[in-house]
Amino acid sequence: AIIISDYNKGFLSKEVIRYILESHPVTFLDTKKILGPWAHSAKFIKINSEEYRKSLEHIDESYDDKIIVTLGKKGCKYNGVIYPVENVAIKDVSGAGDTFLAALVSNYVQTDDIYKAITYANKCSTKVVQNRGMTIL
């Protein structure tokens, strides 16, 4: 699997990302850029609710089976279904999204099942937010 984690700081252009996405069948995209046709070749796209809101006018239903929207303490949404997380005391959300993506990809590569991977990613990110600073799972 290829993971593109793009914080939209100018290093990766949409054209470069498109090229990478079109060059490999199993790609995961996590971007701060507004989505559009350049991102359509991604197997899965992980964005947060704010990033999703900003991209809404640029995406259509063909993205439904690609986009995983993280919802913070509410879990995440994929293909119209919300995958909740355990209600825990949150100490630090730093790294929660990166943990979610790493766990998602790792489990997906092992199981080839995005639903199991989402459940696993939710559990991992829930563990991370219960600690301050860096957490090793």
How many angstroms separate the Cα of 6 from the Cα of each of 17, 30, 75?
Answer: 9, 6, 22
What are the φ and ψ backbone dihedral angles of 30, each rounded to 5 degrees?
A: -125, 110
- pTM for the whole thing? 0.92
Provide the residue-wise pLDDT of the chain in tens; the chain has 137 residues. Answer: 999 999 888 899 999 999 999 999 999 999 999 999 999 999 999 999 999 999 999 999 889 899 999 999 999 999 999 999 999 989 988 889 999 999 999 999 999 999 999 999 999 999 999 988 766 66
d(CA 118, CA 8): 24
Q: Are strands 76-78 and 67-70 parallel, antiparallel or unpaired?
A: antiparallel
